[in-house]
Structure 1
Amino acid sequence: MPEALENVRITLASRPKGSPVPENFQIERQPVPAAAEGEVLLQILFLSLDPYMRGRMDDAKSYAAPVGIGQVMEGGTVARVIRSRNSDFAPGDLVLSHSGWQTYATSNGEGLRKLDPQQAPLTTALGVLGMPGFTAYAGLRNIGKPQHGETVVVAAASGAVGAVVGQIARIRGARVVGIAGGAEKCAYVSGELGFDVAIDHRAKDFTAQLALACPDGIDVYFENVGGHVWEAVFPLLNDFARVPVCGLIAHYNNEAAEGFDRLPGFMRAVLRKSLTVRGFIQREFAAQRPDFLEEASGWLADGRLKFREDIVDGLDNAPEAFIGLLQGKNFGKLIVRVSE
């Protein structure tokens, strides 16, 4: 490895006030770190960009610690081992890691998973066969529990999680209504992905369209968004409906609660309709990951599970791409190609 190589890192420069801006990020260049005894040196090939990263930018109590000022932004990565002082890994091994927004990283091997590019494209380890895909699988399996013939509604249906949710629900025999932003995304959801109906949440008559698409109500609503989408879904929930709460991207940039207090009406509906509304983090169900990989790999191989990726070239472009993600500008799983 040439000594002249630099490690490009993107760190958190300041905490956002509302929507992130480029000034919240700092691009730094440092010497490539050396692998200590028992460690490997990784060259990052691909970086996953995901909505949860917005929460890590805030210094607020959550299910995970925030990124510190001056620390590398965190994120899932696909990497190549270029130097090893760990007997479990050899130079050239391709691995799934959590190395964050940088071009090189060291690891003691804990949490690394070897990848076989002959079985599936490397990028799928960050998307359809990775954390987003498993999030969809776990939320449906443990909370949504769709039954044959039930109506499942999916928010952000063209995204990395929502697309998998709807396809698995279809495999399980449910009727699936996808909600996406814009005609192009809706055409993809109802065409390529095979959802029964796709509705544009930007349409002026969105609420009416959703009610028309769900004449028998909604049995499962997979929540990725919140905001006006939730407002349209909520009155349509059937008795005993299940709501896996995966994300609330419409609210991630809110600095404070907005509007009047809707909690009493919500709680009355939970009681009256016997609703199940449960937030979850995919790692709660980590023991089911082997089941997911076996089933999802089979669905991918036989064509029942399809995916789309939105790949941005260059780590320097990660901040702009991430800001666009929070605005719905990506189309499919957002990934940064860090190195060839």
Structure 2
Amino acid sequence: MTNRTYREVRLAARPTGPVTDDLFEIVEVPVPEPGPGQVLVRNTHMGLGAVMRSLMDEHNDVPIPSYEVGAPLHGHAIGEVVAAPGTDLNPGDLVEHQLGWREYALLDADAATRLDPDLMPDPAAYLSQGATALMGIERGAEVRPGDTVFVTGAAGGVGTLAGQVARQFGAARVIGSTGSQQKADRLIKELGYDAVVIRGAGPIEEQLREAAPDGIDAVFDNVGGEQLEAALALANRDARVAIVGALASQLSPDGTTAKVAVDSLSLLIRSITLRGIALYKHLDLIPQWNRRFAAGLRDGTLTFPHARLQGLEQAPRALRELTEGRHLGAVVVEL
């Protein structure tokens, strides 16, 4: 190996509001030598998610440790094994792990998962958030043939795939929500959404009532707040609501929680199911999703909407733009 140093992104300070570039610092450090049972990986791609904004706070409500000031950030990444003494991994193997935000990663062998380099037509597709989409559609909202489905946060890395998966499960009408007319147009033209409600373009419930005159059977909620309230107001009898994210709270500019008023008697009368569901309890879906996604990408029945930025130095910008809603689909940094 010719590289003697590599770059990593560290958290320079805790945010007091939105993500800004000065919260990060890029540091050059020596490439470590792996010991027995360890793996040195040259990272090739890393994925970003809105949850990373929550992890920048000292305390958070998600089951992932917060980032430490002065230490490198972490997150989903894939890369090639450089050395792995005393393990069953070999140099050149493609692996995934959770030590992104750096060009090289040193980790224990059991923290790296070997990937099939020939499965995906694009290795970056391993960084999709599709397992979460599949979980919410299949096990959370239990989408059935003929359903009208509402996906909040439809233009994000999860939502752009959730709408596609809902179709695979037989949804007759798929409605999304997003923050701009431009994204709404793309969701309809490129990703098969039938209608899209737009945050800031008037009361969500009124827009949703027009988009779903016969009500909603299944809800995939990434957002919470007003959008979840609107979905509950229009939910049909026996509707299933999967609460998969809480972006209205996670990305709140002032840090406030977007609370939802729930009429429990109305939900009871309509036999509506609300289910909070998180991927860490459904990890068996990850290999299932990878096989489904690879097949869909190859036969054209699924697409991978994403923005791809080049170089580790673009990672802070990528997270800032993700939290600002600048991109459609997932956000990936190619290292």
The two structures have a TM-score, normalised by structure 2, of 0.90
Q: Using the alignment, how far apart are the partners of 2:71 and 2:94 within structure 1?
A: 25
Match of 2:210 in 1: 212
* Conservation of the 8 A alpha-carbon contact between 1:219 and 1:237: yes
In the TM superposition, residue 303 of structure 1 has moved relative to its aligned partner by 1.8
Mean Cα displacement is larger for which, 282-291 or 224-233? Answer: 224-233
**Aligned pairs, how many?**
331
Q: Using the alignment, how far apart are the partners of 1:302 and 1:2 within structure 2?
A: 40
Match of 1:185 in 2: 183
> Amino acid of the residue matched to residue 163 of structure 1?
T
After superposition, residues 235-274 of structure 1 pair within 5 angstroms as 235-254=233-252, 257=256, 263=261, 265-274=262-271
SS at match of 1:234: helix
Call closer, same or farther: CA 1:14–1:297 in 2, change over 3 Å. same
Q: Using the alignment, how far apart are the partners of 1:258 and 1:291 within structure 2?
A: 34
Q: Using the alignment, how far apart are the partners of 1:94 and 1:199 within structure 2?
A: 40
> Amino acid of the residue matched to residue 307 of structure 1?
F
Quick check: 1:142 aligned with 2:139?
Answer: yes
> Amino acid of the residue matched to residue 279 of structure 2?
Q
Match of 1:69 in 2: 69
Match of 2:54 in 1: 55
In the TM superposition, residue 222 of structure 1 has moved relative to its aligned partner by 0.8
After superposition, residues 13-24 of structure 1 pair within 5 angstroms as 13-24=12-23
* Conservation of the 8 A alpha-carbon contact between 1:86 and 1:108: no
Mean Cα displacement is larger for which, 303-312 or 223-232? Answer: 223-232
- Give the CA RMSD over aligned residues: 2.2
After superposition, residues 289-308 of structure 1 pair within 5 angstroms as 289-308=286-305
* Conservation of the 8 A alpha-carbon contact between 1:40 and 1:83: yes
In the TM superposition, residue 21 of structure 1 has moved relative to its aligned partner by 2.1
State the identity %.
Answer: 32
Call closer, same or farther: CA 1:84–1:193 in 2, change over 3 Å. same
Match of 2:327 in 1: 330
Mean Cα displacement is larger for which, 292-301 or 95-104? Answer: 292-301
Match of 1:11 in 2: 10
The two structures have a TM-score, normalised by structure 1, of 0.89
> Amino acid of the residue matched to residue 314 of structure 1?
G
CA deviation string 1:232-264 (max 9, x = no partner) = 3332122222221111222214455468x754x
Match of 2:313 in 1: 316
Call closer, same or farther: CA 1:149–1:232 in 2, change over 3 Å. same
Quick check: 1:286 aligned with 2:283?
Answer: yes
In the TM superposition, residue 215 of structure 1 has moved relative to its aligned partner by 0.8
SS at match of 1:59: coil
In the TM superposition, residue 181 of structure 1 has moved relative to its aligned partner by 2.8
Match of 1:125 in 2: 126
In the TM superposition, residue 226 of structure 1 has moved relative to its aligned partner by 2.5
Match of 1:106 in 2: 106
Mean Cα displacement is larger for which, 62-71 or 48-57? Answer: 62-71
SS at match of 2:110: coil
* Conservation of the 8 A alpha-carbon contact between 1:39 and 1:108: yes
> Amino acid of the residue matched to residue 108 of structure 1?
D
* Conservation of the 8 A alpha-carbon contact between 2:144 and 2:170: yes
